[in-house]
């Protein structure tokens, strides 16, 4: 699975690296997030063939606020991929944050249909992430742009989920206030890996808050030893380690945490349920 994650990283927004040769059927996974919307196309074997990402604010706290904006965005991403692809891409999947109302889930489905995709699957985000991670017992913590989502997995199934409004934007807000710069500038500094060491102490209070959210979601699961940290905010080096030591848990961070959920969404089209041989891997905890 690490191969597929790396492949997505390599081909993301690089049409010259997209390769559709020998693919029989293509499936698109679409993740409409607070911070970014991403479409990943895989073939029938789960091999990533194309991936395109745009930053846009069409979602807030897990709800699609700008329907037309989201629709145009997904159409644009799919048009770009289809322009480079000699084969039709007709099937797709999408996901929703834990605790989402059914109306919002329907909206997400209409958006994919508006981009000419037959929706094969709509699944919750942690279940999508777990199609890549293959956790049997443990927790997935997804620190995205606006929220922190937590899912407890028992025997490979999601048994408890929560989603709280603290995420990367809160780190950027604290950083902007501290440095007296615009939010946009703070965002640039935060995502510059060379600056990670100086950013970390400033945003520590937000990391403590995230730890508190994770702790209260896991309070009924005392035996938990391991959490897997995904989502773009976990790209900040050191963040996962702080959350882990605050909680006395091992916090494992996979490579490219930002693409785990969207890749899982695409793979869900293959009918995987965590036991799919194509989807393989197991990271117990």
Ligand X SMILES: Nc1ncnc2c1ncn2[C@@H]1O[C@H](COP(=O)(O)OP(=O)(O)OP(=O)(O)O)[C@@H](O)[C@H]1O
235 binds, among ligand X, Mg ion, none (CB under 5 to 8 A by kind): ligand X
Q: What x/- string results for residues 128 through 167 when contact with Mg ion is judged by CB under 5 A?
A: ----------------x-----------------------
Q: Does 33 bind Mg ion (CB under 5 A)?
A: yes
Interface residues for ligand X in 169-198 (CB under 6 A)?
169, 187, 190-191
**Distance, CA of 247 to CA of 69 (rounded, Å):** 39
Question: 3-state SS of the chain: helix, strand, coil percent to 5?
Answer: 40, 25, 35
Q: What x/- string results for residues 42 through 61 when contact with ligand X is judged by CB under 6 A?
A: -----------------x--
Q: Does 126 bind Mg ion (CB under 5 A)?
A: no
One of 108, 162, 166, 258 touching ligand X (CB under 6 A): 258
Closest approach of Mg ion to the CB of residue 206, in Å: 17
**Distance, CA of 161 to CA of 29 (rounded, Å):** 22
Interface residues for Mg ion in 81-120 (CB under 5 A)?
none
Which residue's CB is nearer to ligand X, number 85 or number 169? 169
Which residue's CB is nearer to ligand X, number 43 or number 142? 142
* CA 79 to chain centroid: 22
**Distance, CA of 21 to CA of 69 (rounded, Å):** 32
Structure tokens at 153: 């997995």
**Distance, CA of 27 to CA of 91 (rounded, Å):** 5
Interface residues for ligand X in 229-248 (CB under 6 A)?
231-233, 235-236
**Distances from the Cα of 128 to the Cαs of 94, 112, 114, 182, 261, in angstroms?**
9, 17, 22, 34, 6
Sign of the CA dihedral with 15 first, then 19, 23, and 29 last: negative
Which residue's CB is nearer to ligand X, number 134 or number 167? 167
Closest approach of ligand X to the CB of residue 24, in Å: 30
Q: Does 29 bind Mg ion (CB under 5 A)?
A: no
Which residue's CB is nearer to ligand X, number 64 or number 279? 64
Phi, psi of 152 (to 5 degrees): -100, 130
Closest approach of Mg ion to the CB of residue 127, in Å: 13
Q: Does 94 bind ligand X (CB under 6 A)?
A: no
Closest approach of ligand X to the CB of residue 236, in Å: 4
DSSP strand E in the chain: where?
Answer: 26-32, 36-43, 48-55, 59-60, 63-64, 91-96, 118-124, 138-143, 148-154, 157-164, 226-230, 250-252
Helix (H), strand (E) at residue 183: helix 183-190
For ligand X, the binding residues (CB under 6 A) are: 33-36, 59, 144-147, 167-169, 187, 190-191, 231-233, 235-236, 258
For Mg ion, the binding residues (CB under 5 A) are: 33, 144
């Amino acid at each position: 699975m690490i191969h597929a994650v790396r492949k997505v990283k390599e081909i993301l927004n690089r049409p010259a690296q997209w390769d559709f040769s020998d693919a029989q059927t293509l499936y698109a996974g679409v993740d409409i997030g607070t911070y970014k919307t991403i479409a990943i196309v895989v073939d029938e074997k789960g091999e990533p063939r194309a991936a395109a990402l745009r930053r846009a604010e069409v979602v807030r706290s897990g709800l699609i606020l700008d329907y037309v904006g989201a629709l145009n965005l997904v159409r644009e991403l799919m048009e770009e991929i289809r322009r480079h692809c000699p084969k039709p891409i007709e099937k797709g999947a999408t996901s929703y944050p834990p605790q989402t109302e059914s109306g919002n889930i329907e909206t997400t489905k209409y958006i994919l249909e508006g981009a000419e995709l037959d929706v094969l699957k709509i699944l919750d985000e942690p279940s999508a992430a777990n199609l890549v991670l293959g956790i049997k017992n443990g927790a997935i913590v997804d620190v995205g742009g606006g929220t922190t989502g937590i899912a407890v997995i028992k025997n490979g199934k999601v048994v408890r989920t929560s989603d709280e409004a603290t995420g990367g934007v809160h780190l950027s807000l604290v950083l902007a206030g501290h440095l007296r710069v615009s939010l946009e500038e703070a965002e640039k500094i935060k995502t510059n890996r060379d600056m990670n060491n100086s950013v970390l102490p400033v945003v520590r209070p937000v990391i403590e808050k995230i730890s508190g959210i994770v702790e209260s979601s896991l309070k009924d699961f005392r035996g938990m030893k391991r959490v897997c940290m995904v989502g773009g905010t976990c790209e900040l080096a050191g963040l996962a380690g702080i959350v882990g030591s605050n909680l006395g848990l091992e916090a494992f961070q996979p490579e490219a945490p930002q693409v785990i959920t969207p890749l899982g969404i695409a793979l869900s089209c293959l009918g995987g349920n965590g036991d799919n041989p194509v989807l393989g891997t197991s990271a117990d905890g």
